[in-house]
Structure 1
Amino acid sequence: MKIYNLHSIQKLPISLDEAWDFLTNPRNLEMLTPSDMNFKVFAGADRPMYAGQLLQYTVTPLPGFNTKWVSEITALKEKEYFIDEQRFGPYAFWHHKHFIKEIPGGVSMEDSVDYKLPLGILGRVAHPILVKSKLDSIFEYRQEQLLKMFGPYVAPKKEDKSISKHDILN
């Protein structure tokens, strides 16, 4: 059994509250997913995110292949992390951890997805050709969209506390 991992980190120049409110709103997934994937949430997004929540969507991961996907929010710690797991959909296993933490000048968003493909050896053969490249492009798209929405993160400059010759002489 081969389990794959996708990992990404992105820094955003927004407050922890703003990041949490945006990222835990399932409706925002639509704008963070490439339009050719026809991603639509059709059930479960009518309340703020909570552990046990089921979200249902349709998606076209590959041209001509439409599928329904059901995810459950299995864990959530306000303004720190949430985890979604596929209950029904295209993967044999999908476990997606979202971590959010405050950093100087904004927030750091970290995603870690562990997933397994169906179809045994066929899934393993398809992984580098179709699946990994598609997932990488989806996460790149998401990062681009967040950059457009919130702007680039710029780390605050540290104060220079060094002592100059002038300070010593005076």
Structure 2
Amino acid sequence: MKLYKIETVQYINSTIEECWDFFSSPKNLQTITLDNMSFEIQDFDEKRMYPGQIITYTLKPLLGIKVSWVTEITSVKDNDYFIDVQLFGPYKLWHHKHFFEQTENGIKMTDVVHYSLPFGFLGRIMNKLVVADKLKAIFDYRRNKIDELFNSKNTAV
């Protein structure tokens, strides 16, 4: 099994509490996901993130093909980090860590994703041809959307 890793770092102009409040709510995931992926939460218990929480959603990650995804929040430390893993979905493995750290430059948000694709050799080819670029586009969109939401405060008087 080939394991891939994505790591992104972004500084957010916010308090740790405001940042945590936004990112610990599964409802906000749709806000930071590309519109053309048709992301839609199907079921979750409307509570703040907690270990063991299950979130189900559908999306169209490639070629307009609708897929179901079931995520479990496996670990949470308020204002510090949370971890989600895919229980069912398009990946053989998806493990996503989200870290939040107060710094002099704002909140340092670090995402670390480890993932693997099914189908062995064919999965490795798909990663090289399509998946890695699609994931880059998804995280680039998130970066821009988070900048828009948190780092583009109106400074006009």
- The question of a shared fold, defined as TM-score above 0.5 by the shorter chain, is answered with yes
What are the Cα deviations for residues 95-150 of structure 1, in whole angstroms up to 9, with x where unaligned?
00000011114200000000000111110001011100000000000000011111
- Which consecutive unaligned segments of at least 5 residues does structure 2 have? none
1:22 partner letter: F
Q: Deviations over 1:57-107 (max 9, x none)?
A: 001001231100000000011111000000000000000000001111420
SS in 1 for 2:115: strand
How many residues end up aligned between the 2 structures?
A: 153
Which amino acid is the alignment partner of residue 103 of structure 1?
A: T
Distance 2:109 2:68 in 1: 27
Which one-letter code corresponds to 2:25 in the other structure?
N
TM-score (norm 2): 0.94
Which stretch shows the higher mean deviation, 86-95 or 101-110?
Answer: 101-110
CA RMSD of aligned residues (A): 1.2
Match runs of 1:42-81 below 5 Å: 42-81=42-81
Alignment partner, residue 125 of structure 1: 125
| Aligned residue type for 2:99 | F
Alignment partners' CA distance in 2, 1:45 and 1:127: 33
Q: Which amino acid aligns with 1:137?
A: A
Superposition TM-score, scaled by structure 1 size: 0.87
Cα 1:143/1:45, change in 2 over 3 Å: farther
Aligned counterparts of 2:73 and 2:113: Cα–Cα separation in 1:
14
- 4+ runs deviating over 6 angstroms: none
Aligned pairs for 1:89-128 within 5 A: 89-128=89-128
Secondary structure of the 2:137 match is helix
* Contact 1:14-1:105 at 8 Å conserved across structures: no
Matched letter for residue 2 of structure 2: K
Map of 2:5 onto structure 1:
5
**Percentage of matched positions with identical amino acids:** 41
CA distance in 2, matches of 1:148, 1:95: 26
Structure 1 stretch displaced more, 80-89 or 63-72: 63-72
